[in-house]
Chain A
Amino acid sequence: MTARIGVVTFPGSLDDRDTQRAIRLAGAEPVALWHKDKDLKQVDAVVLPGGFSYGDYLRAGAISRFSPVMETVIEQAKAGLPVLGICNGFQVLTEAHLLPGGMLGNDHLHFICRDQKLRVENATTSWTSDYESGQEIHIPLKNMDGRYVADEYTLDKLEAEGRVAFRYLDFNPNGSLRDIAGITNEAGNVVGLMPHPEHAVEPLIGTGRTDGLPFFTSILKKLVNA
């Protein structure tokens, strides 16, 4: 028995298939979940993939956050279900208030797509345990609304509690405060980040490295050893 990891498809999701593929390459079983369906099909973890769900209307993630599937995701995430939000998924998690702060348009007002260097700041979460703290990785970044913002109190709290999971290195691509690329909740089961680990899981494509694969092996090990 391997772990079953759900990937939600919203109208406008783009990277659901790539995420399923990454999960399979890591050795787990991907399970397709549908935004209109409250049923999580008894998966052991959930990934909210990248894309432009509901066309980013109102605010990125604002409408998806109220979809039927999210009712169950929010309830179970609070009870400990591991949830990873990538890019648009990260935006959905902040809109759902499962993660603090919010996401706004890039400070330069342009879409950006590049190989991004990151530092893993917290290698103890459900999704990052196969990294080492301080490890530098390269994974693709592509977004319009990637600017992470929160008030000073929240930022200080995140730093003090080690909840900044990833930080942009060398170049801040979107004006995110304190170079924050990804964060975790207090329990470490909910993680969100802007860059796309699912696009860096095979040497042949993407950055030519497999720096994103440990997200999916981390969660697999955690679930299988649980």
Chain B
Amino acid sequence: MARVVVDVMLKPEILDPQGQAVQRALPRLGFEGVSDVRQGKRFELEVDGPVDDSALARIHELAESFLANTVIEDFTVKVEEVKAEAGK
């Protein structure tokens, strides 16, 4: 078992009003010094079997065609080691 994380962000040149709303709320919470916030999406894919090159290539294709719309968004794919959790 492995976890593959796909992060999707709006392209930098595209306005992100949700991120702006979050940023504007920060001073009210007493949190100063953050000049910009951009909000994205994170997908965690639990993959059966080994995450080899061909599995990663397929996930890349999935991210490019479905999880992200590359007209407006950028994405990254990374493999995350899943630690053997106690009690499982």
| Residues of chain A at the chain B interface (Cβ within 8 Å) | 58-59, 62, 66, 94-95, 97, 100-102, 104-109, 149-151, 175
Contact = CB atoms under 8 A, between A and B. Distances in A.
Interface of B: 10, 13-15, 17-18, 21, 66-67, 69, 71-72
A103 to B, nearest CB: 8
A95 B68 CA distance: 10
Given A149-B14, A151-B13, A175-B15, A101 B71 contact: yes
A109 B21 contact: yes
A3 B38 CA distance: 48
B16 to A, nearest CB: 9
5 contacts: A58-B66, A62-B69, A102-B71, A105-B17, A108-B17
B14 A94 contact: no
Given A107-B17, A109-B17, A109-B21, A100 B66 contact: no
Which of B17, B18, B21, B69: most chain A Cβ within 10 A? B69
Contacts of B71: 94, 97, 100-102, 150
